[in-house]
């Protein structure tokens, strides 16, 4: 696991529409965002995706670099949450529109949370 530095999380004024839209162009990343839309922070291990750990790590890095998510390390575990307020503040209505369309079209449905 690679350490997550603060520099990996852009400030709100550094969020760019093209970066956000590019990050949301992948169905798996949209599925991750759909799960994180519950407002909770989730351990990476809770995410059930049909890809290997290194591919999941890549997708989470893309979302983080675009400013859509924030990752926090605690010991050997990593946690991720959606930056809803930041994205909404910079691009009002964008995240809600993407989530609504993703729910309607069932985009990213292959991404689930681990059973408790």
Per-residue pLDDT of the chain (116 residues; tens, 9 = 90+): 455 555 589 999 999 999 999 999 999 999 999 999 999 999 999 999 999 999 999 999 999 999 999 999 999 899 999 999 999 999 999 999 999 999 999 999 999 998 76
Q: What ranges do the domains of the chain cover?
A: 6-113
The sheet that has 77-82: what strands, in order across it?
42-43, 77-82, 69-74
Q: Residue 115's pLDDT is what?
A: 79
Query: Are 7 and 46 contacting, i.e. CB atoms less than 8 angstroms apart?
Result: no
Q: Which of 94, 91, 80 is nearest to 32 (CA)?
A: 80
Supply the CATH classification number for the domain 6-113.
1.10.10.10
pTM reported for the whole predicted model: 0.90
DSSP class per residue in 22-40: HHTTSHHHHHHHHHHTTS-
**3-class secondary-structure state, position 58:** helix
Cβ-Cβ contacts under 8 Å for 27 (sequence gap 6 or more): 107, 108, 110
Three-state secondary-structure class, residue 99? helix
**What is the C-alpha radius of gyration for the chain, rounded to an integer number of angstroms?**
13
């Amino acid at each position: 696991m690679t350490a997550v530095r603060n520099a990996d999380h852009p400030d709100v004024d550094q969020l760019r529409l093209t970066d956000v839209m590019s990050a949301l162009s992948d169905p798996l990343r949209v599925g991750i965002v759909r799960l994180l839309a519950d407002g909770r922070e989730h351990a990476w291990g809770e995410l059930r995706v049909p890809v290997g750990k290194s591919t999941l790590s890549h997708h989470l890095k893309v979302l983080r670099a675009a400013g859509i998510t924030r990752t926090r390390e605690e010991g050997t575990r990593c946690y991720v949450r959606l930056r809803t307020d930041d994205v909404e503040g910079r691009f009002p209505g964008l995240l809600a529109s993407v989530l609504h369309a993703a729910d309607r079209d069932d985009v990213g449905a292959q991404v689930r949370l681990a059973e408790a």
